[in-house]
Amino acid sequence: MPMRLLSALLLSLLTPLVGAQNLLVASRFSDEVLAYDGQSGAPLGAFASGGGLSNPTGLTFGPDGDLYVASANTNLILRYDGSTGAPLGVFAAGGGLQAPRQVNFGPDGHLYVSSAATDEILRYDGLSGAFRDVFVSGGGLAEPVGFAFGPDGDLYTSSLFSDSVLRYDGVSGAFVEVFASTGLSGPVEVLFGPDGNLYVTAAFTGRILRFDGHTGQFLDVFVADPALSVPFGLTWGLDGDLYVANQLADSIRRYDGTTGQLASVFVAPGAGGLDNPLFTVFTPPATGFGLLAPQPCISGSLNDLRVTGAAPGASLVLVFGLQSGDRPLPGCGGVAIEIEGARVVGHGTADEAGNLVLRRLFPATFAGQTLHLQAFRPGTCEVSRLALHPVP
């Protein structure tokens, strides 16, 4: 029996890069997106500016490799060439967008934007930028800022004025629950970590809190650094460390991804003209399809597959039962993927840092079989080589 996965779930993989992987930072009061060396943090100058950019907030690389930036003062989403930073015009506008904050591409390939002033998350067509719908509203949402799609496919968003993180169905946008609230004061950014847990910036207390990624139970204060002054955006680096935009101190601080201890002041205060940093993103890694081998972490029958180094927006599909040399065929022109004799057990989209955590319960009948991880470029029907991992 063929296993079909609609091509609408796929996002193009991207290869264009700025060179070595660098950190891009939305510098709010200088109306620029600044670039810093991904290894040293040394300033590299303005990567994106002009084109009507005023008060940049959220930013993300799209599946086409271009950079998308929220211009808060003009209520626009602007697009910039992902290699050169040259302005490419207005990508999305309208739909009632007011005070845009974070921007992210979802598993469906469309662009989602938090509209803080209207207490909504809006959805725009991922290809044309046309307004599609109000995807999230209600449920007590009071000024959404940062949001992320979780490993389960649901959408998790901060609710600044209700001091909580809310969960919404990732397909319908329906409110599900208050997912986390313990200890939160002014939550602004939410980001799933390589450990599958949810990390939240509590801006008003200057801390980064960690919550269980399944239940929302409060786990600990992951970062408690008195030098943090209204911290904002969070980004995981390929080194496994957590990078935090220290807003009022005009700097970027790096914390050990395991202990939460300060590893370095990655970008010194004001370096390169940094003025009120908000969100950050690393440029995609130059690794062909951008796919590195996943690092499986087995606990009983729960396999947490952690992929780092994938291209932001990469669509990854997990299947069982393929034979050596088999290559699933990606759909072209809207044709669905068909995998004969195999079972699709999961799919997900790498986040803006190129990281992905996929959790699946594998039945005992899968023991001894091999899990295949593959990335697709639907537009050209190309596929990455298979990454193979035995499942105990």
- Give the amino acid at 210: R
Looking at 231, 261, 282, the residue that finishes a domain is 282
Report the chain's mean pLDDT, rounded to a whole number: 79
Residue found by looking up tokens 């496994």 in the block = 240
Same domain, 76 and 126: yes
Q: Which of 282, 312, 345 is the last residue of a domain?
A: 282
Residue 262 falls within a domain, yes or no?
yes
Interval 219-272: pLDDT, tens: 999 999 999 999 999 998 878 899 999 999 999 999 999 999 999 999 999 999
Do 171 and 115 share a domain, yes or no?
A: yes
Q: In the chain, what percentage of residues exceed pLDDT 70?
A: 67
Q: What is the CATH number of the domain that holds 192?
A: 2.120.10.30
Same-domain check for residues 324 and 350: yes
**Are both 346 and 273 inside the same structural domain?**
no
Can you give the pLDDT at residue 151?
Answer: 75
Q: Is residue 287, in this structure, part of any structural domain at all?
A: no
255 and 332 co-located in one domain? no
Quote the CA–CA distance of 279 and 44 in Å, as a whole number.
Answer: 17
Do 119 and 248 lie in one domain? The reply is: yes
Q: Are residues 318 and 277 part of one domain?
A: no
Amino acid identity of residue 179, one-letter, is: F
What is the rounded CA–CA span in Å between residue 249 and residue 245?
A: 9
Counting beta carbons within 10 angstroms of the beta carbon of residue 103, is it exposed (0 to 12), middle (13 to 18) or buried (19 or more)?
Answer: buried
10 found inside a domain: no
- Domain membership flag for residue 7: no
Q: Is the pLDDT of residue 369 over 60?
A: no
Q: Do 115 and 141 have their domain in common? A: yes
Domain residue limits at 300: 295-390
Taking CA 88 as the corner, what is the angle to CA 87 and CA 90, rounded to the nearest 5 degrees? 105
Per-residue pLDDT at 22 exceeds 60: yes
* Same domain assignment for residues 206 and 82: yes
Average pLDDT over residues 288-309: 45
267 and 306 housed in the same domain: no
Question: Domain for residue 44, yes or no?
Answer: yes
Residues 265, 359: one domain?
A: no
- pTM value is 0.75
Domain annotation covers residue 288: no
The answer on 171 and 106 residing in a single domain is yes
pLDDT at position 360 over 70:
no
Determine, yes or no, domain membership for 305.
yes
> To the nearest whole percent, how much of the chain has pLDDT over 90?
58
Position with higher pLDDT, 17 vs 89? 89
Q: What's the number of domains the chain is made of?
A: 2
Looking at residue 382, which CATH number applies to its domain?
2.60.40.10
Task: Assess if residue 205 is contained within a domain.
Answer: yes
